[in-house]
Chain A
Amino acid sequence: MSSAGTEVTSSDYIKHHLTHLSSSPQTSLVDFSVIRWDTMFFSVLTGLIVIFLLRAAASKATAGVPGRFQAGVEMLVELVEDQSKSIVHGNRGFIAPLALTVFCWVVVMNAIDLLPVDLFPMLAGLMGIHNLRPLPTADLNATLGMSFGVLILVLYYNLKIKGIGGFLHELVAAPFGTSKNPFFAVLLAIPNFLLNIIEFVSKTVSLGMRLFGNMYAGELIFFLIALLGGAWAGFGVGSVLAFLGHIVAGSIWAIFHVLIVLLQAFIFMMLTLVYIGQAHESH
């Protein structure tokens, strides 16, 4: 973590914690040759945990008096089912389980943020890995990847329900409408098409960046609070105050962050349902 003989400054500490475990350094803003192993590992790991837990609940489910675990999972499924029933008007056989998976996966991924900041990097350091960022949703690639997945599903449902002709017609006819006169039809088609493209792009980008921004800011504040605790310099007044401040601020922020973790996962799930539900409606 520190180079031999020199002290670790606070900006070094934060920079170390903000560096991903990449396959190669990133040379430009969009560089597809770089793979961030820590994001991949933790997102797959949390996905497997979610699948394992939900499958355990499903396979041990009894029709009699449920245990607490089964009751908890049933409450979760009922919550997602209620939301999906009111938003998506169509066949929800695939969409409701998708929403459940998204919600559980994002909650478990976000919950990694609540573990101590130095825990995973220290364990990784023991294995010889120098940089590790354990929180996958604080990586823009992971959240944009998920929202691209939602975009692909939205396009798929648009094509499936409206057909290719209907979908293309809606691209050039909504929201301003079209007209019989071919000149006016073309005149209206251009702003319609632009608005539709902007709508798709902004929905996808905002979905990904909202989750990223929340988790990144939360994680960074955890780093800054850890710096407060790391400023220990013997039992002087400043050090003790910093230590107490670190405990108080850390507790308050961790409690608030629990709300943010659940809320952001809920928002991601709701917006997934809303966007797919919009694909089911026609104008």
Chain B
Amino acid sequence: MEIAGFVALACGLIIGLGAVGACIGIGIMGGKFIEASARQPELMNALQTKMFLLAGLIDAAFIIGTGIALWFATANPFKG
């Protein structure tokens, strides 16, 4: 199999596996946030700020992986 095929597979794996982790993490965190808002609605605003911060942190590794995968897909450094 040629290099381009391997690189395409690699990009798919990087993005796919990263997405699995990030989505499950955000889903769990979002569920807890909604639960907490239902129990104590007065804390909703304070928790929302922290939730956005945590969402950014959880997405970090996934988006770093997506950036690297898009770099491989478009300006492939493995040629030749």
Residue ranges of A at the interface with B (Cβ–Cβ < 8 Å): 11, 14-15, 18, 206, 209-210, 212-214, 216-217, 220, 263-264, 266-267, 270
Assess whether A216 is in contact with B71, with CB atoms less than 8 Å apart: yes
- Chain B 52-64 per-residue mask, 1 if CB under 8 angstroms from chain A, else 0: 1101110110011
Instruction: Report yes or no: B74 in contact with A213, Cβ–Cβ below 8 A.
Output: no
Residues from 21 to 80 in B contacting A, C-beta threshold 8 Å: 52-53, 55-57, 59-60, 63-68, 70-71, 74-75
Give bound CA distance, A214 to B68, whole Å: 11
Q: Are B70 and A210 interface neighbours, CB within 8 A?
A: no
**Which residues on B sit within 8 Å (CB–CB) of A270?**
53
Query: Is the CB–CB distance between A216 and B56 below 8 Å?
Result: no
Chain A residues near B68: list those with CB within 8 A: 213
Which B residues are in CB contact (< 8 Å) with A14?
A: 74-75
Complex contact A264–B64 (CB within 8 A): no
Which chain A residue shows the least CB distance to B71?
A: A216
B66 touches A267 (CB 8 A): no
State whether A220 and B70 are in contact (beta carbons under 8 Å apart), knowing that A209-B64, A210-B63, A210-B64 are contacts in the complex. Answer: yes
B53 to chain A, nearest CB (A): 6
10 additional contacts, CB 8 Å, given A14-B74, A18-B74?
A14-B75, A206-B60, A209-B64, A213-B63, A214-B59, A214-B63, A217-B66, A217-B67, A220-B71, A270-B53
Identity of the chain B residue whose Cβ is nearest the Cβ of A214 in the assembled complex: B63
A84 CB → nearest B CB, Å: 14
Q: Which residues of B contact A216 (CB under 8 A)?
A: 67, 70-71
B residues contacting A by CB (< 8 A) are: 52-53, 55-57, 59-60, 63-68, 70-71, 74-75
Bound Cα distance A213, B64 (Å): 4
Rounded to whole Å, the gap between the CB of B9 and the closest CB of chain A is: 18
Q: What are 6 A-B interface contacts by the 8 Å CB criterion?
A: A15-B75, A210-B64, A213-B60, A213-B68, A217-B63, A266-B56
Q: Give the residue name and chain of the B residue nearest to A138 (CB).
A: B67
Nearest CB of chain A from residue B11's CB, rounded to whole Å: 12
| CB atoms of B52 and A266 under 8 A apart | yes
A15: chain B residues at CB < 8 Å are 74-75
Decide yes or no: A267 and B57 within 8 Å by CB, A210-B63, A217-B67 being known contacts: yes
Q: How far is the CA of A6 from the CA of B64 in the complex (A)?
A: 35
- Complex interface: chain B residues within 8 A of A210 (CB): 56-57, 60, 63-64
For B70, give its contact among A217, A264, A266 (CB under 8 Å): A217
Q: How far is the CB of A83 from chain B (nearest CB, A)?
A: 8
Q: Is the CB–CB distance between B63 and A220 below 8 Å? A: no
Q: Is the CB of A267 within 8 A of B64?
A: no
CB distance from A153 to the nearest CB of B (A): 20
| B70 partner residues in chain A, CB cutoff 8 A | 216-217, 220
